[in-house]
Every structure is written in structure tokens, then in C-alpha cells.
Structure 1
């Protein structure tokens, strides 16, 4: 049936106001429960007190068992209703009115304005005592259930699991204690073997359990350096690497605050270790970069030459000077009016010499054989353009020249074999030498002349620093200073060159030259590494338009690749020494 409920209330000005509610239902329910059609609150009103339904042309009132209402002043449990009848219940008055068109029932409700606020609370069950359940019984039952399913059964499964004994699949195993899923990497590595990390029951994961698998992961500060500070023990692995916490992608805490908490005020707690304060990545919150360079240190005479050592020099970029002992001009090689590639006669680009390693961070070492030999041949006699001097072995250069000129002046068939022409540098052509004396004497004179030329005027001296000792023995006279470059100017940092090969609309050489001023460099001592001002043009620690947001761990590794920064530099230096100069002693020339 369709009913109209009109609630009458007295407004603040004393004028009666009414609020109409349309109800469409098979019957009208009355009670204190919130799901009743007509909700009335007060003492003596049950949650389901009465119901009004249509019986033919009349309305019929029926109270729930044990309940009653007052109908026209008389106590009733059931009754037939007519227009004008008044139902009273806990001070509320419901009058059956003449229904307007479109409605089959109309009821005017005049609520009891004297209802106390506590009556509203009693309309709902808010306490266990209002139900048939007892507090003490439910408490002990809950304890028993938790102990059984949360401790006893999982503990039995845990013991059986460790002993490799089968258990029923329906038993709640120790995964019942799992507060969340493992990270995908750990899940693949250990599966359901919780004891791999949780070595003891009810004990948090120890660092030793992490180090069992992560053997090559070094701590942030080695014990020897930590002893110089007042920082105390380093944080547990689980402080930053949180497991069983969703979402699973956040296994590593990458927040800058974890770094700034210590590095923001290094004067407090760092003790003897002096570091610049870092509070983010911006010109006013991050210090200028410092490059780690290699410098050659001439030692004492050793055998037929000199011994050289290499030390690491740390300098700010505006004061950094490369000491590689190489003679080279980037500006000359990138000038299309002076240098073109031999293969296609096009200008050189950065990638012709600088080739990324697979890690995308470092570049392959530049060597004579891979890069330089394509344009710079080590020929020494126009009469033998296919004959070249050995590179990197000065004593072999002397022997090669002596052997060549000895054969040239003593072999009557020398020079009859056809050789292909090779281009020569302008002004380098020389007339064919003749001999007016003994062939051997002529050969030694020509060899000595060519040796002096290679080490003092052209050839080796064009790229290398050569020391002329002025001694009579040609094998001991010239000393070539070795060339060394640091493989990584920032060994404690990371920089992905591959991701920077495209910078906005810049690609290729334009992207490289936007950071490295190679076209202005006339000397190999120029360290063309951009400073923080260049980096902050595109990066920052705060989100901004046309800026790539970076965090501390975007460039810095919490776990160093080597046991410590100092050890990393020393190891790097020793490795470079082994790669480029297996012997510390330089052969005399």
C-alpha cells in the first residue's frame, strides 16, 4: 500500500510545521528499530512493536506478542482502525487521517518532544550484555580459539615442517603468522621456507640471516670508519628493507629523510670524518661535486728506466686538472675543417671514440688499436708504408727501427716488393736516403736519426710525454711517461650515460656537448665534467615542471660497491695499474 506519513512539530516561532514522508510497503511497521517504517523511541517501545496492514477497506492494527498500545485511550493489542482513531505509544500520537488522492493510508504523527537523549542509545544494541552471550564465556572461548588456531596448531606444523614430516593440508600452518606477502624476489628465492630468514621462533630477523644470501653487499660504513664516528651501530637491514608490508613494490626505503637525518648535520656525530652537509639536491642544499683524479708520481730509477706510481687526488671541479700525460685536443678533432673520418670523410662525432660499456655508466678505455689507429698510422718510412712501429713497447720501437734500416741498407732486394700507397701528412715527405759507407754504419745512423725524430719531433712525442736523459746509450736515453685515466671520477656515485643520450630535443653529439664543453677544450688537462649547476637545470629533489625528480639513492648507493670509499679508490687505482701497465718499471729507450 501507499501511505503518507505527516509528522507535526512546533517550530521555533510556535507555528506548527509538518514533514511529509511517502511510504510504499505491504504493511507499516512500528518500533524503535532503525529498519521500521515508523521509528518511535521511548521507554516501553520494542524494536518490533506493532504493524498496521490493510484488511479489505479497513486498516488493522496488530501488536507483537507481549506488546500493546493505547487506542483512543484504551489499551489494545489488536484492533480495526477508522479515520480519526488516535494511537498513543510512549507519548507519541498517531492519528488515522483521510488519505489524499493517490494514497491509501494517511497518518499524522505528533512525536513526544520530552524524549531523553539516553532513549536514543537504548534503541540500539551496543553492549554484549544486551544479547544472550556472556562476557566471561565469550572471553575464555576466544582465548581458547586463538591459542589453538593461532599458536598450538601452527607450532605443531612448524615442528613437523622442519622435520620434513607430512601434515594435513587443512591444518593452519605457520603461514597463519604471516602478516603479508613476501616481495617477489624473496618469494622466488625461498618460497615458503620461513626459517630461511626467521632462524629462531619469535625472534626478529637478524642481519646475519640477510648476509647469508647477500654476501657481496657491503655495509654502509665499515667498522674501521664507524669507529671514528659517534653514530653507534649501523641500522638493521630490516630498518630500510621491510617485508610482509603491502604494496610489495616498496621493499627498499628510498626516502631522502633517511639520508638527511645523518648527512644534514655531519658536524654532529661524524667525529673525525669531515663531510659537507647535504639537505637535498639543489644549489643551496647540495655541495659542489668533487672529482677523483689519478696523478703520476715519478719514483726512483729502477733498472733501465724509472718507476712510476699513481695516487688519487680529490679536487673540486673548478680546480680539477687532469694529469693523464696525454697530449690531445678535443676542439681540433671535432673541427670539420681540420679533421674528417677516413671511412666516409665526414666530421668526427663523440661516439667514434667514446663507446659505452654494457652497464651504461662507464666508457670503454680508449686504445690506439681500437680508436686512434683508424686515422693515426705508426708508419715511419715513405718507402715502406705497410711497416708500422709497435705501440706501447718503446724498446721494441728501437729494435724495429734498427732491424728495418739494417735490412734496408744490406739487402739488395729490399724495396722491390710492390706496396700500396698511403696518404702522408703535408710537409712530411722525405727524400730517399743513400749510403756512402758500410751498410751497417749507415743503418745505425739512419736508425738513430729516426729514433730521435720519433721521440723528440714527431711520432711518439706527438701524443706522449717523453723524457730525454741525454745518455749515450740509445736504449737508456728516452723515457716515455705512461698515460692513465680514472675509470670513474665519482667512484661512490652512479650516473647513467645511456639515459642521458636524449635530453629533450637534443640527441647524439648535441646531447653530449650540452654537458661536456669538448669543442672548447684545447688540452687534455681539461676535465670536462659538468658541475651541480648543470645538473639542476633538469633535476631536483622537488617535483616541478620540466624537471626530473631525483632522490639521494638515484645517484648514491647506500651499500658501496667496495668495502669503503677509500678502499674503492685504492682498488680502482690498482686495477688500472694492472690493465695499462703490467710492470711498474718503464723500459729505457
Structure 2
């Protein structure tokens, strides 16, 4: 709201001065606090005395805390204001004026009861300077300086170096428990050097400062950290980037202690952007693009996809280039999300599939479990081949074994006389237990071989395996059919971290346009612009502030250990 404030000053010569200013605010606070919109520098005024707000029916004034206000001479806590009202605030008087179209509220402020000479008289009778105490500034300065040197430098050094005060007030005790209590209650002069509470994970050596502070008056060195954290990987390859300034950066630049019991992870964007904002200039061998802020200066996402699953070729491709993944899998999301096209062959009923029908998250909620044929597809895609025995299935994922399974199945039927097919040779429809001669046996196995080929042609047809897989016919090889290897990307951006669990309140289709996807080659990932609808840079005020470590990790497991020369414990 817009408040027009006019301050009236009455001078001794009888003239009147007026000062006008316009204040823009949501609430109009009144008091002696410098943050108040109406700052009244008078000791008789409390801090945050009252607040003036705009409501549905006009403006209201409300006293804060235990304070009171005077409205038209009546003491009150809260009241509605109208033009002509006079608000008493200590020695001040505020008058509500008629509003104008250009402002929401017009008020006039005037000091009615000045303090007079009472303050000056009180100050003249008070002792407020060092000189009046009879002590010179020089003597007091030297005394304080020497006291600080003794108390905060000499005594801590003597205590930590020579244990000079171990025997001070020492009491002979024989009980180990009493001795421990006495040791913990001893006089410690170096406590003034403690900068704060240590991490919980470091408290087991909290009484041994030398574990980290190996050299007096020198900041903690990396060797002290690596002595314990031996399995920590680095950030860059020291061989490729031998001259990088990062190789000389201290661990404590990002990982600080004495800041409380919980681990403190450096989140300042500048720690990363100081190098990555001009990475090409600093390191000409770097393969990453420059970046300084997620909200204003970040390259388009580059997922790592299968360019050729048959040869095992993967590549990082920008989403701006419309990447296509060649996983050797055929899967139209749009068809599977259409209930009219989805009929469960076991029940004969139509089913509405949703994202979570196939895509389930791990227990940690970060990544999704891989989709498997047995768990997610086999209810509809049944690998049966014999109408007379629909419960008999062939194995999935092992095409080279299918022909063997089929020949074994049909050979058993033929040799045992268990065939109920009226079109089968008579020898196969005999009574069980009848002994076959060699000619009959060969005829039975010939039928089994024929049925095996017939079933193979059916299973590897476009309506069965071919509906999802790339099937190749191999007439000159032992196995008649082969399936192209399927490789579907599970972690699309291995150089970043995305936690699905933290985004569970958002519908999947908000980021993944699966409803319109007809090909499995579609890379259904949101672009940078989609993430920026909710996330901004470190200084964002109207979005979620997101720094580099919101999505990236510093210590890369693909990089060598920070100190491989240190022998593992």
C-alpha cells in the first residue's frame, strides 16, 4: 500500500514546517525500531509499538504485545480507522486525513509533548567518561592488552604444551572413576581457543586437537583429513590436470568443523563457479561446458544414451538435438497407457496402466528399478506356444535355448504317446505305454521336429517376440533366430543426481511426455527450461534456490583416490 506521511514541525518563532514523503509497504509499523516504517526516535516510545494494516473494510491499527494506543483520547488495543481520527502514540499525535486517488492512506504526524531540557540535565549529572573515573586511557589500554595476552595466549600455550596446570589443586585419588571425573573437571585455559562444537563423527578424538591441527598456528592440512578418509575419491584426474589449482585446494575449504554436531556441506555456488564459469580457459582439456548459475547460465542437459545397443556404444547428446536412443526395444508408451488397447489375456478384461504399473522406485526413493519382463510384462505378454497346454512357457531372455526347450517338449509328447491332436500321425495317438519300433520312433521324432519349427516360427513372429524385439533370421546358423541385445538406459545423467522421491508430489506426465510417445527411441526427459519453472539459481527469491551441489557431487567415484599412496588400515 502507498502511505503519504506529512511531518509537522512547530518552530520557536511560531512558523510551521512540513515534510512530506511517500512510503510503500505491506504493513505500516510504528515504533522506536529503526526497521519500522514510522521511526519515532524518542525514548518514551517502545520498540514496535503498533502496526497499521489494510483490511477489507478499510484500515486498522493494532498495538503490539503489552502496549496500548490512544484513539481519539480513548485507550485501546485495536480499532478501525477513518478520516478525522487522531491516534496518540506517546508524545506524538497522528491524524488520519482524507485519502486521495494517488495514495491509499494520508496521515499527519506531529510532536505534541517535547522532552525539553530533562535529558540534558540528566546527562550533566552523570558519569559517562573514563576521565571522570580517574583512570587514564593509556593505563587502561595497557592493562586490558596485557590481560588479554596472558589469559588468551600465554596461559593456553603453557597449558597445552607443558601441562603446567595439571597439578594445580590436584587431589590424590585411588578410584579410577573419581580420577576420570577429576581429569574432566581440571582447569583448561585453552578453552578460549575452541571455535565451536565438533561434528558428532569427530567427537571421539575431541580431546586430541593434534589429530587435525598437526602444526601450531597453521590451518588444517589435507594430509590430516586423508589420514582417516582414505577411501575418498578426488574431483579431477591429477595426471590430466596436473597444474590445476584445485590440486592445492584444502579440504577444509568446503568441509568445516566446529560448526555444530551435524555435517556441514559447503553450498556456496561460488566454490564451483569460480572454476566452471570459465572452464575452457582454465583447463583446455576439460570436456564440460561453462556454467555459473542454474537459473541464468547453465547448458542444456546432455543425457547419456545408447547410440547402438548391439555394439555397446553410448554417447552424451544434448536434449536440444532431439536425441534418439537405439536400445533394440520396441515399446510405445502411448498404446500401453490407452485402456481401450490394453486387455489382460488371463482375465479378458481391459486394464488401465499407469506409470507405477512398471516404474517403481528403490527403497531410497532416488532411482527407479529396472523394468523386467517377468515382473512387469508377463501378465499380458505370455510366452506360451501350445494351445493344448497354455501353462507351458518358454524361457525369456535366452533365445538360443528356446529351440532346445521346444524339441524336448514335443519329443516327450511324441515318444510317450500323449498327443491329443487329431491331425497328428496315428502313431502319436496310441495308448500310453505302447512300445514303438524304430520306424514308429523316427516318425514320432519327425513330428516333434516339425512342431518345434512351427512353434519357433510362431514365437519369433512379429506378433510375439517381434512385437518388442528386433528378430533376425539366421538360416545358415545352428540357431534359426536371434534377438538383438536390449540395453535400456537406467541412469540417464550419471554426472548428476536426481531424487524422484523428493518430487513425488508432482505427476509423472508433468516432466515425462509418455502419453504421446509412440517409439521407445523417444528420450522422455524434461529439458532445462522445464526444471527452471520451479528451480532457480542460488539467489532466486521466487523459486527454489538451487546451487551446484543440489544436483552434482564433488567427489567422483570414477576418479582415483585422493591419496592412493597412503596404505589402507
Normalised-by-shorter TM-score class: 0.5 to 0.7
Provide closer, same or farther for how the CA distance between residues 364 and 467 of structure 1 changes in structure 2, counting only shifts above 3 A: same
Aligned residue among 375, 385, 404 for 1:380: 385
For 2:187 and 2:128, how far apart are their aligned partners in 1?
Answer: 43
Q: Aligned match of 1:226 in 217, 241, 245?
A: 241
Residue 226 of structure 1 aligns to a residue in which SS?
coil
**d(CA) in 2 for partners of 1:235, 1:399:** 62
Matches within 5 A, 1:166-245: 169-172=185-188, 174-187=190-203, 189-227=204-242, 230-231=244-245, 233-245=247-259
- The answer to whether the Cα contact below 8 Å between 2:199 and 2:257 also exists between their aligned partners in 1 is yes
Who is 1:360 aligned against? 365
Are 2:155 and 2:190, in contact at CA under 8 Å, matched by a contact in 1?
no
Map Cα deviations across residues 401-422 of structure 1 (whole Å, 9 max, x no partner): 111222233322345xxxxxxx
Q: Per the alignment, in what secondary structure is the counterpart of residue 317 of structure 2?
A: strand
Q: Which residue of 2 aligns with 1:270?
A: 283
Q: 1:433 to 1:371 in 2, by over 3 A?
A: farther
Cα RMSD for the two superposed structures? 3.7
1:180–1:397 distance in 2 versus 1, CA, 3 Å? same
Partner of 2:490: 487
Tell whether the 8 Å contact from 1:129 to 1:135 is kept in structure 2 after alignment.
no
Q: Post-superposition shift, 1:311?
A: 2.5
1:335 is the counterpart of 2:338: yes
Give the 3 Å change call, closer, same or farther, for CA 181–484 of structure 1 in structure 2.
Answer: same
Quick check: 1:264–1:278 contact (8 Å CA) kept in 2? yes
Q: Distance in 2 between matches of 1:315 and 1:468?
A: 32
Q: 5+ unaligned residues in a row in structure 2: which ranges?
A: 1-10, 14-117, 167-178, 427-439, 561-569
What are the superposed Cα offsets for residues 439-460 of structure 1, whole Å, 9 maximum, x if unpaired? 1111111211221332244432
Q: How does 1:46-125 map to 2 (within 5 A)?
A: 124-125=130-131
CA contact (8 A) 2:339 2:350 kept: no
Whether contact under 8 Å (1:290, 1:316) holds in the other structure is yes
Aligned-residue offset at 1:138: 7.4
Aligned residue among 525, 528, 532 for 1:529: 525
Shift of 1:524: 0.8
- Equivalent runs, 1:299-318 vs 2, <5 Å: 309-317=311-319, 318=321
Once the two structures are TM-superposed, the CA of residue 281 in structure 1 deviates from its matched residue by 1.4
Deviations 1:514-548 (A, max 9, x none): 11111111111111011111111111114344x32
1:151 matched residue in structure 2: 157
Conserved? CA contact 1:190–1:196, under 8 Å: yes
Q: Tell me, yes or no, if structure 1 residue 292 matches structure 2 residue 295.
A: no
1:224 Cα deviation from its structure 2 partner: 2.6
CA contact (8 A) 2:328 2:470 kept: yes
Task: Output the CA distance in 2 between the equivalents of 1:126 and 1:563.
Answer: 69
Native 8 Å contact 1:157 1:174 kept in 2: no
Distance (Å, rounded) in 2 between the aligned partners of 1:138 and 1:498: 58
Aligned equivalent of 2:458: 453
Aligned: 1:563 with 2:559: yes
Find the residue that maps to 1:467 and give its secondary structure: strand
Distance 2:128 2:293 in 1: 58
Residues 152, 192 of structure 2: 8 Å contact kept: no
Change in Cα spacing, 1:454 to 1:12, as seen in structure 2 (3 Å) is: closer
Give me the whole-angstrom Cα distance separating, in 2, the residues matched to 1:323 and 1:126.
89
Tell me the distance in 2 between the aligned counterparts of 1:538 and 1:177.
44
Equivalent-residue separation in structure 1 for 2:134 and 2:396 (angstroms)? 94
- Kept in 1, the 8 Å contact 2:339–2:353? The answer is yes
Q: Offset of 1:195 from its aligned partner?
A: 2.8
Closer, same or farther in 2 for the Cα pair 1:457/1:168, shift >3 Å?
Answer: closer
Q: Name the TM-score, length of structure 1 as normaliser.
A: 0.62
Structure 2 length-normalised TM: 0.64
Taking a change above 3 Å as real, the CA distance of residues 489 and 234 of structure 1, as seen in their structure-2 partners, is farther
Select between 337-346 and 144-153 the one with higher mean Cα deviation: 337-346
Deviation at 1:135, TM superposition (A): 7.3
Shift in CA distance, 231/144, structure 1 to aligned 2, threshold 3 Å: closer
Residue of structure 1 in register with 2:266 after alignment: 253
Query: For 1:444, which of 439, 449, 455 is the aligned residue?
Result: 449
State whether residues 400 and 479 of structure 2, in contact with CA within 8 Å, keep that contact through their aligned partners in structure 1. no
Alpha-carbon spacing, 1:176–1:458, altered in 2? closer, same or farther (3 Å): same
Name which of 410, 413, 419 aligns with 1:408: 413
Unaligned runs of 5+ residues in structure 1 are 1-10, 14-107, 299-308, 416-430, 504-510, 565-589
Deviation at 1:152, TM superposition (A): 0.5
What are the superposed Cα offsets for residues 142-198 of structure 1, whole Å, 9 maximum, x if unpaired?
A: 6555554221122234999xxx999583231654432222234433x5443323322
State the secondary structure of the residue aligned to 1:374.
coil
Q: Deviations over 1:32-55 (max 9, x none)?
A: xxxxxxxxxxxxxxxxxxxxxxxx
Superposed CA deviations along residues 259-317 of structure 1, whole A, max 9, x for unmatched, are 221111223212221432212113x411100011134465xxxxxxxxxx413211112
| Residue matched to 2:500 | 497
- Higher-Rg structure is 1
Secondary structure (helix, strand or coil) at the match of 1:258 reads helix
